[in-house]
Structure 1
Amino acid sequence: MTTRAAGSSGARRTRCARCGCPVLRQLVGRRAALDVCADAEPMTAAAAAALREPNRLDWCVRTVGGGPDLRWLDGGHRIDCPHPHVIDHMCTAPADPPADDRGP
């Protein structure tokens, strides 16, 4: 089940379909939006920045309309930002086995 704060166009709280971990899902951006799936566990800006990788982004979480809203981190984002931060989800569930298409 997914939930989104009433009146918010921000993130919805849900669970990863593969591993079941709580995550935040949101389309971030106005034109070419990025479909973000981030771990729901909040952390400091410094802790999130330490986990950042080229294909794993960190996000500033603001409260909008009573619910979470993920924000891009621009070049001027403070490392001592007082808002909670999250990091892109890296699923730890085993990969699905390849489909057997040989037939009976």
Structure 2
Amino acid sequence: MTRPPGSRGGARRVRCRCGRTVLRQLVGNRAALDVTADADLMPAAAAAALREPNRLDWCVRRGRDGVELLWADCRRRAGECDRPHVIDHQCTAPPPAARPRRTTRTTPVPEGQLALG
């Protein structure tokens, strides 16, 4: 799982079920968002071009413990952001197979008798 928002551990590199390496991190301090983003770093303009209503881009800050994902609100500052960015991951793996539903089991004992087991 991901780290709690209070720990400043940064993003973890994990492998998605589709086989790609992705970055996972809880971003935010109060109502944290569980982010899974592609590990491919790109310029801010390229990430902004890939952004969609349900696919966000994230600013990447490099620190002593690795990389940390930040909200990409750096566009509000004057000029272009000089840090690399990443984009939310869109998994291409097929959905997991649905498990068959369990059916209710009838007990092989007469009604009213307790069954041990």
Fold agreement, TM-score > 0.5: yes
Distance (whole Å) between structure 2 residues aligned to residue 22 and residue 77 of structure 1: 30
- TM-score normalised by length of structure 1: 0.82
Amino acid at match of 1:65: R
How many residue pairs match? The answer is 97
For the aligned residues, what is the CA RMSD? 2.2
The verdict on how the C-alpha distance between 1:42 and 1:94 changes in structure 2, with shifts beyond 3 A counting, is same
Q: Sequence identity of aligned pairs in percent?
A: 62
- Could you say what secondary structure the match of 1:50 adopts? helix
Matched, 1:62 2:30: no
Specify which structure has the bigger relative contact order, considering alpha-carbon pairs within 8 angstroms and separated by 6 or more residues: 1
Structure 2 equivalent of residue 51 of structure 1: 50
Moved over 3 A (4+): none
The verdict on how the C-alpha distance between 1:96 and 1:78 changes in structure 2, with shifts beyond 3 A counting, is farther
User: Is the radius of gyration larger for structure 1 or structure 2?
Assistant: 2
Please identify which structure carries the higher strand content: 1
Unaligned runs of 5+ in 1: 1-6
